[in-house]
């Protein structure tokens, strides 16, 4: 049963990436899996904080029953994006959860409009691979403030320019900075990055002088 649940859980995550605010019966009918299995899987995902209750509604046929509708959490969203390795569902996912990664999913239309979608897909998977399972597991224990840090690091990893000699990189950055929000983010990020590297360089020089003088 555990192995079956482990195989089905990724499908449920991708389903929620495609369909925000859905109930157990809708999942069951879409995935053609028994209600008992869906019940177990949703409970497990709720316990892992990969999904959350988005809203509750009275059942149409029986108003005495309250039906829960679920959506992905940030952890669940990152896991779903990681499962979608070919980015087959990225268009609908970006429309369903733009606010969770606002400068990534919230700007997906920008990347498509300027023919940078393939570059964006590649960067998305690269950033997810760097984040890795360990960081995803750590997310489960994080507060909302800490999760904001994950969003920041994920966004910077996704947007950050690579080699200045690469013409494709320059095309990517030109598209990015055409958006005022992304431009402001990159300016602040690069300024902070430069300060950090300068501090590291100063420390290296201090050690060099110390060694020479000792």
Nearest to 68 by CA among 36, 27, 14, 116: 27
List, in order of start, the domains of the chain with CATH numbers: 1-72 (1.10.10.10), 86-214 (no CATH)
DSSP 58: E
Nearest to 185 by CA among 149, 156, 145: 156
Q: Quick: pLDDT tens for 11-68.
A: 999 999 999 999 999 999 999 989 999 999 999 999 988 999 999 998 777 888 899 9
Q: Is the pLDDT of residue 6 over 60?
A: no
Given pLDDT bands bounded at 50, 70 and 90, which one contains residue 1? Answer: very low
**Angle between helical axes of 35-47 and 2-18 (0-180°, round to 10):** 80
């Amino acid at each position: 049963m555990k192995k079956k649940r482990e195989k089905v859980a990724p499908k449920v995550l991708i389903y929620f990436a495609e369909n925000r605010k859905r109930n157990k019966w809708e999942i069951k009918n879409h995935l053609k899996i028994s209600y008992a299995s869906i019940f177990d899987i949703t409970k497990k995902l709720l316990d892992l904080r990969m999904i959350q209750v988005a809203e509750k509604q009275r059942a149409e046929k029986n108003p005495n029953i309250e039906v829960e509708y679920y959506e992905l959490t940030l952890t669940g969203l990152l896991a779903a994006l990681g499962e979608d390795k070919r980015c087959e569902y990225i268009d609908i996912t970006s429309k369903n959860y733009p606010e969770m990664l606002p400068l990534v999913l919230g700007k997906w239309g920008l990347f498509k409009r300027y023919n940078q979608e393939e570059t964006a897909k590649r960067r998305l998977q690269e950033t997810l691979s760097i984040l890795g399972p360990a960081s995803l597991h750590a997310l489960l224990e994080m507060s909302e403030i800490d999760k904001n840090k994950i969003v920041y690091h994920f966004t910077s990893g996704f947007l950050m320019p690579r080699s200045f000699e690469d013409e494709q990189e320059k095309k990517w950055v030109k598209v990015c900075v055409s958006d005022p929000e992304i431009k402001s983010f990159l300016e602040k990020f690069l300024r902070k990055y430069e300060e950090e590297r300068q501090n590291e360089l100063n420390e290296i020089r201090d050690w060099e002088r110390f060694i020479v003088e000792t």
